[in-house]
């Protein structure tokens, strides 16, 4: 698999990505009736995603295209029945960027 996504540029999330991440995930939520972005409720991790994932010992990436965040995804350690594992975090791809392999690239 390539070291870069099929389109755009991938990089670790930065604090300045909060607005783009919120716009991406809010846009995906809007595709589903009754699904709304809940800031500062259940989605309160979005403005500080880098710190949240780093504190958990994980990693989080965004994919940018033409200066906009078009995809996101990460992981954090997660034990199941005492065995080490990982949990996917906030894997989202903007609707117009789906079907070209960005999501698959993020979880590789």
Q: What is the pLDDT of residues 29-74, one digit of tens each?
A: 999 999 999 998 999 999 999 999 999 999 999 999 999 999 999 9
Hey, where are the domains in the chain? Answer: 9-106
What's the DSSP call for residue 97?
Answer: G
DSSP for 51-68, please give it.
HHHHHHT-EEEEEEETTE
Q: Is the pLDDT of residue 1 over 70?
A: no
CATH topology assigned to domain 9-106: Aminopeptidase (3.40.630)
The two tokens of residue 28 are 């995906």
pLDDT in tens, 10-36: 999 999 999 999 999 999 999 999 999
Q: pLDDT band at 2, cuts 50/70/90?
A: low
From edge to edge, which strands make up the β-sheet containing 68-77? 9-12, 59-65, 68-77, 86-93
Output b/e per residue, 63-86; b: 16+ Cβ within 10 A.
bbbeeebbbbbbbbeeeeeeeeee
């Amino acid at each position: 698999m390539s070291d870069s996504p099929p389109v755009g540029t991938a990089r670790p999330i930065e604090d300045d990505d909060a607005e783009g991440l919120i716009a991406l995930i809010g846009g995906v939520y809007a595709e589903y009736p009754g699904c709304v972005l809940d800031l500062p409720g259940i989605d309160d991790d979005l403005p500080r995603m880098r710190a949240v994932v780093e504190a958990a010992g994980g990693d989080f990436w965004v994919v940018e295209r033409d200066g906009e965040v078009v995809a996101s995804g990460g992981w954090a350690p997660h034990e199941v029945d005492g065995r080490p594992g990982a949990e996917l975090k906030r894997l989202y791809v903007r609707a117009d960027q789906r079907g070209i392999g960005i999501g698959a690239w993020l979880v590789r």
